[in-house]
Amino acid sequence: MSQGNKKCGEEEVEEDETLAMTGDDDDDDDDLDTFTDGDLDSGCEDGVLGCRDPFSSEVKPRILLMGLRRSGKSSIQKVVFHKMSPNETLFLESTNKICREDVSNSSFVHFQIWDFPGQIDFFDPTFDYEMIFRGTGALIFVIDSQDDYVEALSRLHLTVTRAYKVNPDINFEVFIHKVDGLSDDHKIEKQRDIQKRANDDLVDAALERIHLSFYLTSIYDHSIFEAFSKVVQKLIPELPTLENLLNIFITNSAIEKAFLFDVVSKIYIATDSSPVDMQTYELCCDMIDVVIDISCIYGVMGNEGGIPYDKESMAIIRLNSTSVMYLKEVTKFLALVCFLREESFERKGLIDYNFHCFRKAIQEVFEVRLKVLRSRKLLSHRRRSRQATPNGTPRVPS
């Protein structure tokens, strides 16, 4: 099914801003001074985006997209989060500013993506890279596998070592990208070579403790969604609980595989502990496309104009391999997609009952998360008000 349904995808993005870099700034406590006033106003009011909030990296982690020019960073962002069709990315213009975007699709998927222009020197003294790396959850470094990657590897090394010094908790993710043009053997060979060289560079710098994760990706198939799913999953603190709930659900319902999907982005935020088979994942993505496309055509649009996806959303697809795919709404943004044998599906009543319990448990996890977020906000609000005098000016330390 088509991935180019922009209408369905548009709602996922709360805001899309382009930040301009300005001069340097010594004040470590106020990250935003590195950007223009306009950006400050539009992007970070009340600490909603958490830029001034010391807990921001936990509340809304940043995912940085870095790499050389034309490696495919903007294309990845557009295809995964804007439903742009891969062919349209041919016409994307080169990014010349840092583009920041808030992704708040679901109760669990909340983060900011910062797309960096390939040609900038982010170690320029006027550029506050410490501020950027400090609030970062994951750094995705994109390497164009169809190009000579010697320069990309040295830039990767520089980026990773600098970032690690500022924030050792960053997850370093390397996308060996544009592998659609390579044969299977060639892909494996490239991955092995890139992985070896990147790790050797770290060993030479006595930084072997830095862990790099590698993924073979392309916007022309589902590999980019799968890789992004894994990157995002590492940033979800509730992941073990979600996996556990899925394990309990599938064992009690004779289901073979279950994914918890963020419907808009098709990122799966959790799955049970059995291994993920790429074909199964692709079928699940296609099923979501079918449901959303059919709902867009025949469904009733809500007042908010979001995707036509609600409590009633469900679908059953019988495959000719005697398997059944079953999709059900879990929350406003999440769907459970299951794979099971036809004979297991005869006990649909039991599956639906177990699903009811599963959904309730997910909602409880979500409520706990909300409570934690609220208390963090309150805490940072109190800290800020303690730092300010009644008329709002900063309190001068006595």
Stretch that binds ligand GTP, among 63-71, 101-109, 322-330, 348-356 (CB under 6 A): 63-71
Closest CA to 218 of 226, 229, 207: 226
Interaction of residue 186 with ligand GTP, rule CB under 6 A:
no
Least gap, CB of 152 to ligand GTP (angstroms): 11
Stretch that binds ligand GTP, among 66-74, 121-129, 193-201, 347-355 (CB under 6 A): 66-74
Task: Give the containing element (helix H, strand E) for 297.
Answer: helix 278-298
Among 15, 30, 38, 94, binds ligand GTP (CB under 6 A): 94
- Contact between residue 224 and residue 239 where contact means Cβ atoms under 8 Å apart: no
Closest CA to 35 of 14, 48, 17, 47: 17
Distance, in Å, from the CA atom of 214 to the CA atom of 177, rounded to the nearest integer, reads: 10
Tell me, by CB under 6 A, how many residues bind ligand GTP: 22
Least gap, CB of 149 to ligand GTP (angstroms): 14
> Which structure tokens are listed for 7?
């209408």
Closest CA to 324 of 306, 342, 344: 342
Residues 318-337 that bind ligand GTP (CB under 6 A): none
70 φ/ψ sector (left φ>0, alpha ψ -120 to 50, else beta): left
Q: Closest residue (Cβ) to ligand GTP?
A: 118
Among 52, 70, 348, 369, binds ligand GTP (CB under 6 A): 70
Using DSSP bridges, classify how beta strands 136-144 and 171-177 pair: parallel, antiparallel or unpaired.
Answer: parallel
Stretch that binds ligand GTP, among 51-59, 62-70, 106-114, 315-323 (CB under 6 A): 62-70
Least gap, CB of 346 to ligand GTP (angstroms): 42
Write the binding mask 101 to 140 for ligand GTP: x where contact by CB under 6 A, - elsewhere.
----------------xx----------------------
Among 23, 181, 240, 302, binds ligand GTP (CB under 6 A): 181
Stretch that binds ligand GTP, among 102-110, 185-193, 213-221, 383-391 (CB under 6 A): 213-221
For 217, the 3-state DSSP assignment is coil
Q: What are phi and psi of 340, to 5 degrees?
A: -150, 165
**97-128 per-residue burial string, b: 16 or more CB within 10 A, e: under 16:** ebbbbbbebbbbbbbbbbbbbbebebeeeebb
Distance, in Å, from the CA atom of 73 to the CA atom of 71, rounded to the nearest integer, reads: 6
Judged by the rule CB under 6 A, the positions of this chain that interact with ligand GTP are 67, 69-75, 89-90, 92, 94-95, 117-118, 177-178, 180-181, 218-220
